[in-house]
Amino acid sequence: MVTNFTGLQPGQEAGEENNLVQQMQMVPALDAVQALASTTLHCVECQTMYPALEPVPRYRCDCDGVLDVETNFGNANLHEPQTRETTFFDDVDTLPSIGASWRQRFDERASSPPIWSISTDTNLLDASGVWRYRELIVRVPEKYVISRPEGNTTLYPVGMENCGMGRIGHRQIGVYAGLDRFFLKHEGENPTGSFKDRGMTVGVTMAHVMGAKAVACASTGNTSASLASYAAQAGMRGIVFLPAGNVAGGKLAQTLAYGATAVQIEGDFDDAMHLVEHVCNELGIYLLNSLNPFRVEGQKAIGFEILQQLDWQAPDWLVLPAGNLGNTSAIGKAFRQAYQLGIINSMPRIASIQAEGANPFYRSFMGKFAERHSVHAETVASAIKIGNPVSYTRARRVIEESDGIVASVSDAQILAAKAVIDRSGIGCEPASAATLAGIRQLVERGVIKHDERVVGVLTGTLLKDSKTGIPQDSGGIVVKPTIDAVRSILEAIEA
Ligand code: F0G
């Protein structure tokens, strides 16, 4: 499907006007339109197809359903591996070699050290834990890519058996979970401290392709910080809509420091989400919530990177916290595509964990997805305080096709799990700890077996929220600078 962009010359960019109150014109670059010719947007509700790029960006189907990026890997470049879909039925034998060639390509890229040219700024795509997998993410010409780079986060072995002598502290997490072979993927190690950077590098790249002058999102804090950083890098205006009083101090400070305009909404995240979609459509600002299907494509890289770090041996389970459900959708899609391409031989089961006071997806799951629930959200884990998740249908597909599960944990369980992760020396933000709380519950229920290989995602850093779940009364003990004073303090601690 090709859109006719009458009047545009190859490479022509959008106009320079930057007036936010007038509708801003976006014009997709023609070379990017051509590069994305084999990519379409599919409605997840009614399957209608749209071109990947249109002069007015499309975030929803005419039926209101959300959109999903579909790339035809096979036809895009004849020299590249074919998909399981195109080969599976007629030539089963070739699939292992197709998968092997993808793995080899990604391993070669991961093993070459990034070298910056002294005189020019080169785009080191292979150094990014997102763009390393670019054929499976989005095929835009390199010159448009806006990358820090991001990704390359640590996969910590924390199980009772896969934790060596040098990780005695980390092993406590495996003991708490009741798992022998357990890994934590710490996405808080991304440039702005959360997994959001992976979707954001792709989202802002697409804004660049579109010639957008301003980008916006609604956020519980991490998306806004990420947007602000990447918008600053790209020279775009960042505008974020936040639920007033419900964003951790560090996230707000970070967003403002990067120079974004923060609009505090008298309402919750769901109100902010509703508003930002309206604002973007009315004012021609490029929307960067995970409603934007390209953000989901970038977040898939968490899944690819986990598989690569496990030497392409798929884990039995992937467990993650769930709010707006973009991440559940993205990681599930990554595993599905890796399986279809023969990169892995089995599909991991996905477990999405919600906070008890913000668990609409869990309610729908418990009713076998007969009904889509929404709730008025309440939880100490402000990042996942979301009552009406946008990516419901995408995530439902992931849970159903991966034989997955949705669980619900209390705030007390989240904070207890956070204390275990923090005290191990790894640390994470409250929402991330829902992962460990959920795993502990699922192991206790016998859903996850103690000897299965499990990867849990920690979505954000400890550093942005210095209040929730961190002892506030022990900011250090003040003593006289004498050995006796120190000795008596240490004796008191041991007593
Ligand atoms: N963990 C953290 C730390 C988050 O910031 C979020 C979402 C989630 C988990 C849930 O991920 O929405 O893809 O299901 N934060 C968004 C934000 C809503 O605005 O920063 P999800």
Lining residues, ligand 1, CB within 6 Å: 194, 196, 219-223, 290, 321-328, 383-384, 429, 431-432, 459-460
> From atom 4 of ligand 1, which residue's Cα is the shortest distance away?
383
Query: 198 C-alpha to center of ligand 1: Å?
Result: 12
For strands 181-186 and 155-157, give the pairing: antiparallel
Q: Cα separation of 482 and 414, whole Å? A: 40
**Probe target for ligand 1 pocket from 184, 186, 194, 362, with the most ligand atoms within 8 Å of CB:** 194
In angstroms, what CA-CA distances link 219 with 156, 261, 270, 338?
A: 28, 13, 9, 30
pLDDT in tens, the chain (495 residues): 333 222 233 333 444 444 554 567 799 999 999 999 989 999 999 999 999 999 899 999 999 999 999 998 763 333 344 455 444 434 556 788 889 999 999 999 999 877 777 777 776 899 999 999 999 999 999 999 999 999 999 999 999 999 988 999 999 999 999 999 999 999 999 999 999 999 999 999 999 999 999 999 999 999 999 999 999 999 999 999 999 999 999 999 999 999 999 999 999 999 999 999 999 999 999 999 999 999 999 999 999 999 999 999 999 999 999 999 999 999 999 999 999 999 999 999 999 999 999 999 999 999 999 999 999 999 999 999 999 999 999 999 999 999 999 999 999 999 999 999 999 999 999 999 999 999 999 999 999 999 999 999 999 999 999 999 998 876 678 899 999 999 999 998 887
14 alpha carbon – ligand 1 mean position (Å):
32
Q: Which of 222, 223, 328, 432 to mutate to test the pocket of ligand 1 (most atoms within 8 A of CB)?
A: 222
Q: Distance from the CA of 206 to the center of ligand 1, in angstroms?
A: 21
Q: Which atom of ligand 1 is nearest to the CA of 226?
A: 20
CB 135 within 8 A of CB 158: no
If one residue of 327, 435, 436 were mutated to test the ligand 1 pocket, choosing by the most ligand atoms within 8 A of its CB, it would be: 327
Ligand 1 atom closest to 431 (CA): 1
Cα 262 to Cα 264: distance, rounded to the nearest angstrom: 6
384, 399, 406: residue to mutate for ligand 1 pocket, most atoms within 8 A of CB: 384
Measure 432 CA to ligand 1 centroid, in angstroms: 9
Backbone angles phi, psi at 284, to 5 degrees: 70, 35
Separation of CA 257 and ligand 1 centre (Å): 21
With contact defined as beta carbons under 8 Å apart, do 398 and 432 qualify? Answer: no
Pairing of strands 49-51, 286-287: unpaired
Could you tell me the two tokens for 360? 């609409």
| Atom 19 in ligand 1: residue holding the nearest Cα | 219
Indicate the pairing of strand 349-355 with strand 405-409.
parallel
> Ligand 1: which atom is nearest the Cα of residue 429?
3
Phi, psi of 60, deg, nearest 5: -140, 160
Q: Ligand 1 centre and the CA of 279: distance in Å? A: 21
Q: How far is the CA of 280 from the centre of ligand 1 (A)?
A: 21
26 C-alpha vs ligand 1 centroid, how far in Å? Answer: 28
**Which among 220, 240, 386, 408 is the best mutation to test ligand 1's pocket, defined by most ligand atoms within 8 Å of the CB?**
220
460 Cα: distance to centroid of ligand 1 (angstroms): 9
How many Å lie between the centroid of ligand 1 and the Cα of residue 323? 6
Q: Which atom of ligand 1 is nearest to the CA of 220?
A: 19
Quote the pTM value: 0.92
Cα of 396 from ligand 1 centre, angstroms: 17
